[in-house]
Structure 1
């Protein structure tokens, strides 16, 4: 028979073990907003969920479509969402105006911004400088339009001769197609494949990405609110780790990633989005810098350039410091971030 001391020891052992069991099973709820409707690159998070990476990292992620990078910044800054994915250029002005809701980039998924000038053959534009004297279209406040003055400066474009036309984002590609504007600014892979979807042959589409023509800035990435991060550092690190593993899965299984997105959106065009992701991969994700240093590598000089360029473009007199907006503290080791 067990004596009283043995029973007490067994009970104590059981009591000590229970918290560890509960911790292992606990799932941290994360509200995650994308930058736009589902596109190919978002497959990295769909795969992270479908293949159990989020679950392994003890994350219960609710992923919602977005309505533009600016909207995503505001939603995370307000606390409506915990984590966002968006072009981070707009955070320079947001942080300057909302220091108590400061946003922090944890993982720049796009090592190069996807902002670009896009036109079609026959519009008299054969190089970036040719947009002078032409009509250029983009929604007001859209990131590529806000960055255009900085790009024009390095590319030698006479901005005084550019005529801007504003429109809703969903009309931009149609207005270019129908000749209501001569060229547009926007994300390269968004505008390019939207034009393809409108029936424009790819060899009729001309584009000049800012990052490949002198303005090499970071693009979209995973970001959070600083106040949330202070309370959820382990959750943030686990989400970044899962995101990188999801991207590796997507790079190795693009059809699988497109199928995962199709399960979430029945109207999702798997063939078109696979091609869109391939362009995103080759122009914004896999770059000489990320090949050498791994996914999410942070070069603070480039981060500072993003802050400076956006502050000048947006007239921000008191821009935040780069180290208040970017951190690599939550990235996994380099060995886990290599392609």
Structure 2
């Protein structure tokens, strides 16, 4: 809960008034639904899963991005060694990953069917709803040169030398 104090301050919450309960990620929806905890940390796209666990009750989301808009979401990291040795492969993989994500968001029912085909435990309805909730912003990314020195650990000099490719992620 490294980011929570900054979020709490921006949201007007006393961070000392919040007690964190160590729990596995898989148990969080059930803990919230059972009333064992008042809140959990979850990606905003997880709202459909939480509402299913809560028996259809509406779940209130408090996205960190509303108060801390410059936060990263998910990212794709590559070592400087891999980037130096095979930049073309990294660029192809990155482009394919983004293309697949955009397709999944634009075709949530089809993507959910594919997920179910490969993971029998997946709930198609929830998976499709989660894709609908995803706040994908094609083309919005930061490269490593924009990272603050020391913020992510690792070799900051190497981070400044290597820029990952801008991926054309515009919706087609």
Larger Rg: 1
Residue deviations 1:124-152, cap 9 Å, x none? xxxxxxxxxxxxxxxxxxxxx22111212
Partner residue of 1:269? 123
In structure 1, list runs of 5 or more residues that go unmatched: 1-144, 312-317
Aligned-partner SS, 1:266: coil
Q: Considering only aligned residues, what root-mean-square deviation do their CA atoms show, in Å?
A: 3.1
Partner residue of 1:194? 49
Residue deviations 1:218-246, cap 9 Å, x none? 11022222222222211101101112222
Partner residue of 2:32? 176
Which structure dedicates a bigger proportion of its chain to strand? Answer: 1
Partner residue of 1:247? 101
Q: Is the 8 A contact 1:240 1:331 kept in 2?
A: no
Match of 1:298 among 142, 151, 163: 142
Residues 56-95 of structure 1 mapped to structure 2, 5 A cutoff: none
The answer to whether 1:167 aligns with 2:23 is yes
Q: Distance in 2 between matches of 1:160 and 1:170?
A: 26
Partner residue of 2:41? 185
TM-score, scaled relative to structure 1: 0.44
Q: Distance in 2 between matches of 1:163 and 1:151?
A: 15
The answer to whether 1:338 aligns with 2:170 is yes
Residue deviations 1:281-318, cap 9 Å, x none? xxx313xxx4xxxx2432779743993xxx7xxxxxx7
Partner residue of 1:285? 136
Aligned-partner SS, 2:28: helix
Q: Is the 8 A contact 2:33 2:54 kept in 1?
A: no
Partner residue of 1:92? none
In structure 2, list runs of 5 or more residues that go unmatched: none
Structure with the bigger RCO (C-alpha within 8 Å, sep 6+) is: 1
Aligned-partner SS, 1:185: coil
Q: Distance in 1 between matches of 2:157 and 2:9?
A: 22
Q: Is the 8 A contact 1:211 1:217 kept in 2?
A: yes
Residue deviations 1:58-77, cap 9 Å, x none? xxxxxxxxxxxxxxxxxxxx
Q: Is the 8 A contact 2:45 2:130 kept in 1?
A: yes
Q: Distance in 2 between matches of 1:155 and 1:189?
A: 20
Change (3 A) 1:226 1:320: closer
Match of 2:91 among 229, 233, 237: 237
Change (3 A) 1:170 1:244: closer
Q: Is the 8 A contact 1:152 1:159 kept in 2?
A: yes
Q: Is the 8 A contact 2:105 2:131 kept in 1?
A: no
